[in-house]
Amino acid sequence: MKTSKIKGIIPPIITPMNDDAEQTVNHEELRRQVERQIESGVHGLFPFGTNGEAYALSMKEKEEILETVIDQVKGRVPVYAGSGCITTADTIRMSRRAQALGADALSIITPSFALASQKELYDHYVAVAKAVDIPIILYNIPPRTGNKLLPETVQALCRDVDVIVGAKDSSGDIENLKAYIRLTRELNKEVAILAGNDGSILTCLKEGGAGGIAGRANIWPVTAASIYDRFIAGDIEGAQKAQDAVAILQQTFKYGNPNTIIKTAVALLGYNVGKCRAPFNYVPEEGIEALKNVLAENTAKGIK
């Protein structure tokens, strides 16, 4: 996979769950969601990312989900596999397995729970990169992992390691995202920087980034994909309108975990995706009503 193909709007596709005691994965609905996303014009798919509840899935489930997604996609868009684990050894095992199953690229989140130095993070990614030969996208989301991947570390990894070809920044710090783009632009190498916060996609593109891994594309895939398509076509005003349309969801995040809010919104649209795995799945009735209002408002505007 060429680095130039790492671009556009890539949904971290939700993992549909059955309404049973174990909340098993609903592979039939997963196939429907894959089709829905591709038909809506997204530019790639990212199974078991944060919105895919990677933190709540076993290794076996991740393999089965990846197999289902790759089989359903049939090469129509790139598939990015979230293969990051807490330890280097587990990350290598998951990364090798994802490559063997046919993933086009790997998205590797920083280790979590224990605090890591920048040297430890650098060494971690170098070790994983030596074990695979498909593109790696670094994944920075310190609010969830507790570990921040500094711009200088991203620059060094992209400079020193051939298969590390980009980074997703979900820090929520727009200056950090800009620094990723600025420092990697100095390299004699094509690097793809992706926005991990949906509200930063257009800013990322304007600064020279490649697009975004957009959780809200699970709700409004056509509109989310159009942020990139309109920008590339030179329709900056249209891209801004699409960006603003997906931003409306932000007002509902006070009612629960963003993953739970997004999955609940998809369920309210009539898709059989189930709830997030317990205990991370509570939305109060006030939040449900707020979500219904947001969905109705965007539906009335033709947002889909």
Residue 66 and residue 98 in contact, taking contact as beta carbons nearer than 8 Å: yes
Annotated active-site residue 168? The verdict is yes
Write down the catalytic residue from 148, 168, 178, 263. 168
Could you tell me the strand order of the sheet in which 105-109 lies? 8-9, 211-212, 192-195, 164-169, 136-140, 105-109, 80-82
Give me the count of residues in the chain: 304
Match 């449900």 to its residue by tokens.
288
Nearest Cα residue to 216 out of 193, 191, 244, 190: 244
Amino acid, single-letter form, for residue 295: L
Write down the catalytic residue from 80, 139, 228, 255. 139
Q: What is the DSSP string of 19-31?
A: SSTT--B-HHHHH
Which residues lie below 8 Å from residue 255, measured CB to CB, with a gap of 6+?
A: 261, 283, 284, 286, 287, 290, 291
- In angstroms, the CA 68 to CA 27 distance is 7
Annotated active-site residue 139? The verdict is yes
Q: Tell me the catalytic residues.
A: 139, 168
